[in-house]
């Protein structure tokens, strides 16, 4: 059929992959960092600014596409960072820089919204997610409270991939988004497939226009040059599509914080609010459970032990044995979202003289992190989500101690994928799908068959019982320290 491109705009850079439409084979790639110098500061995660001029995304895109990267391409899919709020006025101009990332300024706004609707369960039932500082709905509330003049000028609200698609199409009258991006806003429900204008008004104080929500295989439009632009989607959904995960698969992401997600046939309304009910890029659903503490647990332990890096921590942990001689670390160092313990701290239990050795603490940190993520995985399993295979992502996924413990603690086959631009690949696959549907060669219900991710495979095997014992040891300490944390 030809070639298509996937564009992934992250908080730091733009990456482009150009792929064969039939096979998914990567033909060319492009890359450019965002020119962020002089961007106003904020209070985002990892020291990144929370206010970003969207024009830097376009400048980066142009640089990444330089040198003929997009030559011969017939369709483009766009993936972009989630939760970036782009407020536009009546003429389509940005009112202020985009609010991006986990903007800590919006934490109070998020809490106010939760209370205003009647609690976490009310939000979970309404739109499948409880507002956090990162969600656009919380950022709108912050904008209304702190920049009321700007808030009064808001006529249209877009996210990053919506805005980029709109720009690529030449800023047409129709503005679009997709199910995946819409499902994280806090004012669109994956269960009903509709917006909640009342929640938008609760946040902003009045109504504003929102983009049309396209189906997975629909095209957002065609450029004057005849280039088809697909619906686009958020980075999480694009990465899942690029990995090729399906029913029975889960993804465990090891960042400073952690997340567990899986493909499911239906939206999950979770009264506890622990599950965020997102839509995926294929027409199905992507329930996600977040933990606040993953690799930060390992880094903190490495610092405590005077170790230079995580590789040294991993090597030390392997000198211990499963169960860490009875040491149990509840890794709730920043409070925790799963279980909902926002004001707690970490706990080290099981201190006996024979256990007080550096290697046992190192092992307890690795096991504590993985047990916390296994708890999150069990939240999904408890709602009927099947998990037979887990894709383990993030830099810590390569640590030997993590790979040795993960299969038995997570209770599934573990795949550590080869490094690749999975979000850009997912965007390219979406472009190929929309192109095929537009030509009548693909079914709008069935995406193109591209090879899934390959990588190291680790099975629990005979270690499964050992892992269950370690998890039981962890669960006893968790229940003694925080009784009923997972009740209901």
Q: What is the pLDDT of residue 39?
A: 47
Tokens 């993985």 — which residue? 370
Q: What is the pLDDT of residue 104?
A: 86
Q: What is the pLDDT of residue 142?
A: 97
Give the contacts of 140 (CB within 8 A, at least 6 positions apart): 85, 151, 154, 157, 200, 203, 204
Structure tokens, 240: 């899942």
Check if the beta carbon of residue 126 is closer than 8 Å to that of residue 203: no
Q: What is the pLDDT of residue 50?
A: 86
pLDDT in tens, the chain (488 residues): 699 999 999 999 999 999 999 999 999 999 999 987 544 445 555 556 689 999 999 999 999 999 999 999 999 999 999 999 999 999 999 999 999 988 889 999 999 999 999 999 999 999 999 999 999 999 999 999 999 999 999 999 999 999 999 999 999 999 999 999 999 999 999 999 999 999 999 999 999 999 999 999 999 999 989 999 999 999 999 999 999 999 999 999 999 999 999 999 999 988 888 999 999 999 999 999 999 999 999 999 999 999 999 999 999 999 999 999 999 999 999 999 999 999 999 999 999 999 999 999 999 999 999 999 999 999 999 999 999 999 999 989 999 999 999 999 999 999 999 999 999 999 999 999 999 999 999 999 999 999 989 999 999 999 999 999 999 999 999 999 999 999 85
Structure tokens, 60: 């980066």
Q: What is the tens place of the pLDDT at every residue in 1-32?
A: 699 999 999 999 999 999 999 999 999 999 99
Q: What is the tens place of the pLDDT at every residue in 196-252?
A: 999 999 999 999 999 999 999 999 999 989 999 999 999 999 999 999 999 999 999
Query: What's the DSSP call for residue 135?
Result: S
Rounded distance between C-alpha atoms, residue 455 and residue 248, angstroms: 18
Q: What is the pLDDT of residue 38?
A: 44
Query: What's the DSSP call for residue 41?
Result: P
E strand or H helix at 88: strand 86-88
Give the contacts of 111 (CB within 8 A, at least 6 positions apart): none
Check if the beta carbon of residue 460 is closer than 8 Å to that of residue 390: no
Rounded distance between C-alpha atoms, residue 329 and residue 393, angstroms: 22
Check if the beta carbon of residue 297 is closer than 8 Å to that of residue 287: no
Q: Could you write out the DSSP letters of every residue in 406-463? A: HHHHHTSEEEEEPP--HHHHHHHHHHHHHHHHHHTSS-TTS--------EEEE--GGG
Rounded distance between C-alpha atoms, residue 87 and residue 92, angstroms: 9
Listed in order, strand segments (DSSP E) in 369-412 are: 387-393
Q: Say what the pTM is.
A: 0.94
How many helices, marked H, and strands, marked E, lie in the chain? 15, 24
Query: What's the DSSP call for residue 85?
Result: B
Listed in order, strand segments (DSSP E) in 12-84 are: 13-20, 26-33, 51-52, 73-80
135-163 burial, b for 16+ CB within 10 Å, e for fewer?
A: bbbbbbbbbbbeeeeebeebebbbbbbbb
């Amino acid at each position: 059929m030809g070639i298509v491109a996937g564009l992934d705009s992250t908080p730091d850079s733009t990456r482009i992959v150009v792929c064969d439409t039939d096979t998914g084979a990567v033909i060319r790639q492009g890359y450019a960092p965002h020119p962020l110098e002089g961007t106003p500061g904020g209070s985002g995660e990892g020291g990144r600014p929370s206010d970003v001029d969207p024009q830097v995304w376009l400048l980066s895109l142009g640089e990444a596409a330089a040198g003929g990267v997009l030559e011969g391409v017939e369709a483009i899919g766009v993936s972009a960072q989630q939760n970036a709020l782009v407020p536009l006025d009546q003429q389509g101009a940005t009112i202020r820089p985009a609010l991006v990332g986990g903007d800590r300024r919006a934490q109070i706004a998020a809490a106010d919204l939760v209370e205003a609707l009647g609690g976490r369960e009310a939000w979970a039932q309404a739109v499948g997610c409880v507002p956090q500082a990162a969600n656009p709905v919380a950022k709108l509330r912050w904008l209304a409270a702190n920049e009321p003049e700007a808030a009064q000028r808001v006529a249209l609200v877009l996210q990053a991939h919506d805005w980029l698609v709109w720009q690529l199409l030449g800023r047409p009258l129709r503005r679009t988004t997709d199910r995946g991006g819409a499902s994280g806003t806090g004012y669109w429900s994956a269960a009903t497939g509709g917006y909640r204008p009342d929640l938008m008004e609760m946040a902003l104080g009045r109504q504003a226009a929102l983009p049309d929500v396209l189906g997975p295989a629909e095209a957002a439009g065609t450029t004057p040059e005849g280039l088809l632009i697909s619906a686009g989607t958020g980075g999480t959904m694009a990465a899942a599509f690029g990995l090729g995960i399906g029913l029975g698969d889960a993804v465990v992401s090891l960042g400073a914080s952690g997340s567990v997600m899986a493909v499911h046939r239906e939206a999950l309304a979770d009264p506890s609010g622990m599950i965020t009910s997102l839509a995926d890029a294929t027409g199905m659903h992507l329930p996600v459970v977040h933990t606040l503490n993953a690799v930060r647990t390992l880094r903190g332990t490495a610092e405590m032990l005077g170790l230079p890096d995580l590789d040294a921590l991993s090597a030390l942990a392997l000198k211990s044995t499963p169960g860490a001689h009875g040491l149990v670390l509840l890794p709730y160092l920043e409070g925790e979202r799963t279980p909902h313990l926002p004001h707690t701290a970490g706990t080290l239990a099981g201190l006996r003289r024979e256990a007080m050795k550096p290697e046992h603490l190192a092992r307890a940190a690795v096991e504590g992190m993985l047990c916390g993520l296994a708890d999150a995985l069990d939240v999904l399993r408890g709602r009927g989500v099947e998990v037979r295979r887990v894709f383990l992502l993030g830099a810590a996924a390569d640590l030997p101690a993590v790979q040795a413990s993960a299969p038995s603690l997570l209770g599934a086959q573990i795949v550590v994928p080869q490094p690749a631009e999975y979000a850009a690949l997912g965007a390219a696959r979406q472009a190929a799908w929309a192109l095929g549907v537009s030509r009548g060669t693909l079914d709008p219900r069935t995406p193109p068959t591209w090879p899934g991710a390959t990588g190291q495979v680790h099975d629990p095997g005979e270690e499964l019982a050992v892992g269950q014992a370690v998890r039981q040891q962890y669960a006893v300490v968790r229940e003694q320290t925080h009784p009923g944390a997972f009740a209901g």
